[in-house]
Amino acid sequence: MTQCTLDATTVANVKTWLEGAYDEDTKAAIRKMQAENPEELNESFYRSLEFGTGGLRGIMGVGTNRMNRYTVGMATQGLANYVKGCFPGEELKAAISHDSRNHSREFAEITANVLAANGFTVYLFDDMRPTPELSFAVRHFKCQTGVMLTASHNPKEYNGYKAYWNDGCQLVPPHDTSVIDEVEKIKSLSDVKWNGGESRIITIGADVDEAFMQEIEKNVLHPECIKQNHDIKIVYTPLHGTGIKLIPTMLERLGFTNVNVVKAQAVPDGNFPTTPSPNPEEHAAMKMAVDLAKDIDADIVFASDPDADRVGVAVKKPNGEWMLLNGNQTMSVLIYYLLKEWKEKGKLTGKEFIVKTIVTSELPADIAKKVGVKVYDVLTGFKWIGAKILEMEGKETFIGGGEESYGYMIGDFVRDKDAVGACSMIAEIAAWAKSQGKTFFDVLVDLYKEYGFYKEGLHNVVRKGKSGAEEIQQMMKDYRENPPKEIDGSPVVCIRDIKTLEEKNMKTGEVTKIDLPSSNVLQFFTANGNKVTVRPSGTEPKIKFYFGVKENLSKKEYFDTTNANLDAKIEALKKSLGLVPSC
């Protein structure tokens, strides 16, 4: 192999690593790639792994473009430099946790060492813990920052690094881009303070678990229903992740006595040996839990992803068939139950609110409006929900919120999506439903009968390379300059442009301002209640089309027929926009 087969940046980076103060195992791995796999060498070194607005995420391995001890340490130094600049003269504190992924503990300890060497008191969990507990710990210990080592539901090859601010929320402007700037200034190992502050690292564990679970207990609305139906059959799988640490214990604390954990997936394992992908959105990941539910005739099934911030739910239909709920359905039931019970218990004062993202179903908003609770729409990404809670702190009370991608939050003691709290509330709803002779599925049907059957869909258009990126931008430009007047035969009555922050009533021509940060997103609302959102992905070479449709549902028996009709409506919207061939 000759060097001419390698990218120039790769050659320079490889030289730096082979001649620098990197460990011998790393250098040996580089030489092995040089001899056997130049393509992999290029992939590993042609650029530096980007510290994005949410932190790091990438394939683990040797190289500047990989997650490893060096890229983690350099990112942490950049984070430390920024935090120190923002809080001059203050006692600096940070909280750190990690999931079950390979190398997560190693990366967490490196992060702790670098922060401690920079003068931080570091609260490091004694073992893996869920992402929401890390968010809680940042606030609990009054830290300026926190770090969660996780790649969420990505395949086993990946790991990641989520950075948090002092409100327990992931970084939002101006901190997100400012931290990126500081990380990019770290050019060599000598820029990093790797050790020297070990005495400032404090191990935490059971005490924080207890404080966190006490907060979740405060969310309970019907303890008598849990007591009455304590033995409902719950099936839960942590998908080899951190959920096993808290979710079964939390359910037991609440009084549930028949929690059946999928044993094969209860063992933490970063290789996720029982599933192709530890993603609770996917049928394959939920299969073992649903199979167990069938065997024991369970009442409810739920799964958490490896860092236990997202939840997948399966419910049993009247015909005995098990159905996986999508994120919009689970969130809608949660919001429906929360608002219904807050109202019945006289807890609503007119100063409460929920939050959802702009690509989430409009059903939670309709539920909230009917009971007089404010709804705030925010940009895609849970950090924007946390930012809205911070903005309204002391003025209005947050009840709950979430997004279509299986993330939910109840109460404001956590500022990121929380599978521990969500699983607890889902179990309570199942117990409450059973006390009325109903199932979780029946609650969903009741919701649809009252507000309409909402259904959502997603279509991705992938366009790779430089020309693909240009094509995506041209598509957005065309939609702005020549927006559709109708979609599938129904007139477009409202256009929301999140880039210009203008909402236009197409009937009257009236334009109103949108109170959001600017983002390259367009939304079209039609006369028959359909909703289409167009959004280029920020991380992948694709443009996303989100669809929302609605029909009346008069009887439970019509559920399957109506569901099929709504799927057909979504396909018709795709054809109307030219996204799929017309027949």
Cβ atoms of 224 and 255 within 8 Å: the answer is: no
Same structural domain for residues 466 and 477?
Answer: yes
**Nearest-angstrom CA–CA distance, 59 and 64:** 11
User: Could you tell me the CATH number of the domain that includes residue 314?
Assistant: 3.40.120.10
Same structural domain for residues 296 and 394?
Answer: no
- For residue 443, the enclosing domain spans 328-451
pLDDT of residue 539: 64
Q: Which residue has the tokens 């000598």?
A: 190
**Nearest-angstrom CA–CA distance, 484 and 184:** 42
Write down the mean pLDDT value for the chain.
95
Whether residue 7 is predicted with pLDDT greater than 60 in this model: the reply is yes
Cβ neighbours of residue 176 closer than 8 Å, sequence gap 6 or more: 53, 54
Q: State the sign of the Cα–Cα–Cα–Cα dihedral 95, 132, 376, 458.
A: positive
Same structural domain for residues 259 and 360?
Answer: no
The order of strands in the sheet holding 259-261 is 259-261, 234-237, 300-304, 311-316, 322-324
Q: Return the structure tokens found at 82.
A: 């920024």
Average pLDDT over residues 473-479: 93
pLDDT of residue 583: 56
- Residue 218: which pLDDT band, with cuts at 50, 70 and 90? very high
**Nearest-angstrom CA–CA distance, 206 and 249:** 12
pLDDT of residue 230: 98
Average pLDDT over residues 322-326: 97
Q: Which residue has the tokens 């028949």?
A: 258
Burial 373-399 (b: 16+ CB within 10 A, else e): bbbbbbbbbbbbbbbbbbebeeebbbb
**Nearest-angstrom CA–CA distance, 224 and 39:** 62
**For residue range 222-257, what is the model confidence (pLDDT) as tens digits?**
999 999 999 999 999 999 999 999 999 999 999 999
Same structural domain for residues 504 and 555?
Answer: yes
DSSP 219-271: T-S-HHHHHHTTT--EEEE-TTSTHHHHHHHHHHHHT---EEE-GGGTS--TT
Which 3 state secondary structure label does DSSP give 7?
coil
Q: Of 104, 152, 332, 576, which residue is the catalytic one? A: 152
Whether residue 4 is predicted with pLDDT greater than 70 in this model: the reply is no
Q: What percent of the chain has pLDDT over 70?
A: 98
Same structural domain for residues 147 and 172?
Answer: yes
Assigned domain for 24 exists = no
pLDDT of residue 470: 85
Same structural domain for residues 236 and 160?
Answer: no
Q: Return the structure tokens found at 506.
A: 């197409």
Amino acid at 172: V
**For residue range 131-161, what is the model confidence (pLDDT) as tens digits?**
999 999 999 999 999 999 999 989 999 999 9
How buried is 206 (Cβ within 10 angstroms: 0-12 exposed, 13-18 middle, 19+ buried)? exposed
pLDDT of residue 3: 46
Vertex 519: Cα angle to 515 and 178 (nearest 5)? 95
Which residue, 77, 116, 123, is CA-closest to 97?
A: 123
Assigned domain for 501 exists = yes
Whether residue 320 is predicted with pLDDT greater than 80 in this model: the reply is yes
CA distance readout (Å), 382 to 309, 351, 356, 379 = 11, 22, 9, 8
Vertex 361: Cα angle to 425 and 233 (nearest 5)? 30
Inter-axis angle of helices 419-435 and 131-140, nearest 10: 110
**For residue range 388-409, what is the model confidence (pLDDT) as tens digits?**
999 999 999 999 999 999 999 9
Cβ atoms of 545 and 532 within 8 Å: the answer is: yes
CA distance readout (Å), 231 to 55, 105, 155, 371 = 42, 36, 35, 32
Domain boundary among 451, 480, 514: 451
- Residue 441: which pLDDT band, with cuts at 50, 70 and 90? very high
Assigned domain for 98 exists = yes
Q: Where are the alpha helices (DSSP H) in 353-510?
A: 363-370, 382-392, 419-435, 440-451, 465-481
N- to C-terminal Cα distance for the chain?
52
Assigned domain for 22 exists = no
Same structural domain for residues 303 and 246?
Answer: yes
Same structural domain for residues 91 and 148?
Answer: yes
Inter-axis angle of helices 131-140 and 206-217, nearest 10: 100
Domain boundary among 123, 152, 186: 186
Assigned domain for 92 exists = yes
Whether residue 167 is predicted with pLDDT greater than 90 in this model: the reply is yes
Whether residue 416 is predicted with pLDDT greater than 50 in this model: the reply is yes
- How many structural domains compose the chain? 4
Average pLDDT over residues 39-50: 92
**Nearest-angstrom CA–CA distance, 284 and 24:** 40
Which 3 state secondary structure label does DSSP give 518?
coil
Give the single-character DSSP code of 485. Answer: S
Amino acid at 513: K
Q: Return the structure tokens found at 134.
A: 């890390």
Q: Which residue has the tokens 């908003």?
A: 365
Whether residue 462 is predicted with pLDDT greater than 90 in this model: the reply is no
Average pLDDT over residues 502-523: 95
Same structural domain for residues 98 and 169?
Answer: yes
Cβ atoms of 245 and 127 within 8 Å: the answer is: yes
pLDDT of residue 1: 38
pLDDT of residue 50: 87
Assigned domain for 349 exists = yes
**Nearest-angstrom CA–CA distance, 379 and 521:** 9
**For residue range 534-545, what is the model confidence (pLDDT) as tens digits?**
999 866 678 999
Assigned domain for 460 exists = yes
Same structural domain for residues 300 and 353?
Answer: no
Average pLDDT over residues 554-574: 96
Assigned domain for 424 exists = yes
Cβ neighbours of residue 299 closer than 8 Å, sequence gap 6 or more: 232, 233, 234, 316, 430, 434, 439, 440
User: Could you tell me the CATH number of the domain that includes residue 547?
Assistant: 3.30.310
Average pLDDT over residues 264-282: 95
Average pLDDT over residues 110-129: 98
Same structural domain for residues 447 and 458?
Answer: no
**Nearest-angstrom CA–CA distance, 566 and 488:** 13
pTM of the model: 0.94
Average pLDDT over residues 271-297: 96
Q: Is 152 a catalytic residue?
A: yes
Same structural domain for residues 180 and 67?
Answer: yes
Domain boundary among 266, 292, 322: 322
Q: What percent of the chain has pLDDT over 90?
A: 92
